[in-house]
């Protein structure tokens, strides 16, 4: 694949003449979710705001539903300059920026409110600087939701129920370690393959937030859900540093403003979507078990927490969060 139209157009313009009022360039944006999902709605809103703010000079074309591939592929495409923007889950993204892994630890944040109180302040600025060094400019922090486990054949009620289960996880070290500490077997699979793997028995369980559990149709295959809410971590709307540097200062301000507004929209839509997903899946047979005592599960995560506290790369972030 060649570089995006945006990159070509910007390079040509830089050589030929300053960007004229009538010149137009298209930027490519990646998203894994389907139409109507809060991430997709918020990204479309972002695209609208960019078009308005640049008087139609810059168009953001949204490729949703993973039509360009899964997140690891999108990360590669962004590096190669084939994608300009994306909405990434911090789990897999943190693999490229290890100091951000602290935020993907299980049982760190109680809920989204707790997460955003930190992320919208100093901690967010710190992470944004790290992500920028790695090639990503954060335009907005989206809600990644609270993730829980769901299984095909077995209801989970206590930590010992996890023993020996094959559980799909994202390509993220903290998720892999978490599942091992539960006495289960982590199976790393792309998001789009999880449904088939639940169907053909490659995995017994998966874990995700309720809107994804519903939108992927996983609820039809794995009806036993254990509301562990184990990981509450963010997602980020990012633009590649490459594309960012090709924008004028005024256009960068338009992108930043659009990113902030799209994140506010996404977060506003999210909680309702969680409630709706729970009601809709329960109506179709999903059985929810609530975790009454978090203690035993958190106790199992101790080695993972300890590892990140000992690691100078993540210690500072962790202390900032824990002291709050």
Interface positions with ligand GTR (CB under 6 A):
32, 71, 89, 170, 191, 208-209, 212, 235
Tell me how far apart the alpha carbons of residues 210 and 200 are, in angstroms, rounded to a whole number. 22
* Least distance CB 323 / ligand GTR (angstroms): 28
> Cβ closer to ligand GTR: 34 or 303?
34
Nearer to ligand GTR, 54 or 208 (CB): 208
Enter the tokens of residue 226.
């254990």
**Closest distance to ligand GTR from the beta carbon of 99 (Å):** 20
Q: Which residue number, 25 or 187, has a Cβ lying nearer to ligand GTR? A: 187
Closest of 200, 172, 204 to residue 188, by C-alpha: 172
> Closest separation between CB of residue 52 and ligand GTR, Å?
27
In angstroms, what is the minimal distance from the CB of 144 to ligand GTR? 6
DSSP 130: H
Closer by beta carbon to ligand GTR, 191 or else 244: 191
CB neighbour list of residue 140: distance below 8 Å, 6 or more residues apart: 42, 46, 236, 237, 259, 260, 262, 263, 266
3-class DSSP state of 31: coil
Find the shortest distance in angstroms from Cβ 321 to ligand GTR: 21
Q: Shortest approach of ligand GTR to residue 152 CB, angstroms?
A: 17
DSSP string across 286-300: -EEEE-S--HHHHHH
Q: In the numeric block, which tokens belong to residue 223? A: 């009806």
Provide, rounded to whole angstroms, the least separation between the CB of residue 210 and ligand GTR.
Answer: 10
Q: Which is nearer to ligand GTR, 84 or 235 (CB)?
A: 235
Chain centroid to CA 47: how far?
19
Tell me which H or E stretch contains 199.
helix 194-199
Q: Rounded to an integer, what distance in angstroms lies between the CA atom of residue 145 and that of residue 127?
A: 19
Provide the minimum distance between the beta carbon of 148 and ligand GTR in the complex, in angstroms, as a whole number: 11
Radius of gyration of the chain (CA): 20
DSSP per residue, 140-172 = EEEEEEEEEEEESS----SGGGGTT-EEEE-S-
Cβ closest to ligand GTR, residue 123 vs residue 236: 236
How would DSSP label each residue in 245-266? HTS-HHHHHHHHHHHHHHHHHH
Which is nearer to ligand GTR, 34 or 296 (by Cβ)?
Answer: 34
Closest CA to 32 of 93, 81, 79: 93
Residue number, 32 or 115, with CB nearest to ligand GTR: 32
Work out whether strand 287-290 and strand 224-240 pair parallel, antiparallel, or are unpaired. Answer: parallel
In whole angstroms, the minimum distance from the beta carbon of 68 to ligand GTR comes to 13
Distance CA 297, CA 139 (A): 34
Residue 170 or 314 having the CB closest to ligand GTR: 170
């Amino acid at each position: 694949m060649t570089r995006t139209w945006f990159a070509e157009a910007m390079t040509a313009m830089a050589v030929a003449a300053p960007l004229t009022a009538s010149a137009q360039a298209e930027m490519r944006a990646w998203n894994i979710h389907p139409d109507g999902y809060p991430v997709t709605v918020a990204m479309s809103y972002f695209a609208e705001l960019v078009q308005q703010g640049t008087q139609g000079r810059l168009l953001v074309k949204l490729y949703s539903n993973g039509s360009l591939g899964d997140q690891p592929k999108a990360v590669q495409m962004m590096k190669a300059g084939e994608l300009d923007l994306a909405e990434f889950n911090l789990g897999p993204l943190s693999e490229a920026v290890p100091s951000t892994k602290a935020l993907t630890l299980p049982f760190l944040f109680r809920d989204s409110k707790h997460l955003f109180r930190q992320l919208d302040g100093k901690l967010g600025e710190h992470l944004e600087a790290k992500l920028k060094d790695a090639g990503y400019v954060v335009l907005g922090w989206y809600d990644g939701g609270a993730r829980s486990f769901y299984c095909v054949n077995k209801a989970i009620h206590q930590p010992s129920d996890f023993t020996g289960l094959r559980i799909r996880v994202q390509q993220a070290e903290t998720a892999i370690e978490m599942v091992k500490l539960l006495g289960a077997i982590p199976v790393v699979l792309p998001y789009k393959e999880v449904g088939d793997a639940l169907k053909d028995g490659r995995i017994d369980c998966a874990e995700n937030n309720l809107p994804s559990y519903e939108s992927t149709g996983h609820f039809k295959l794995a009806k036993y859900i254990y509301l562990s809410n184990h990981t509450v971590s963010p997602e980020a709307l990012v633009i590649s540093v490459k594309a960012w540097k090709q924008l004028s200062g005024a256009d960068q301000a338009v992108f930043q403003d659009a990113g902030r507004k799209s994140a506010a929209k996404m977060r506003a839509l999210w909680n309702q979507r969680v409630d709706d997903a729970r009601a809709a899946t329960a109506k179709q047979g999903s059985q929810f078990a609530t975790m009454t005592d978090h203690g035993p599960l958190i106790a199992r995560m101790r080695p993972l927490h300890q590892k990140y506290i000992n690691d100078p790369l993540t210690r500072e972030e962790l202390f900032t969060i824990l002291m709050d």
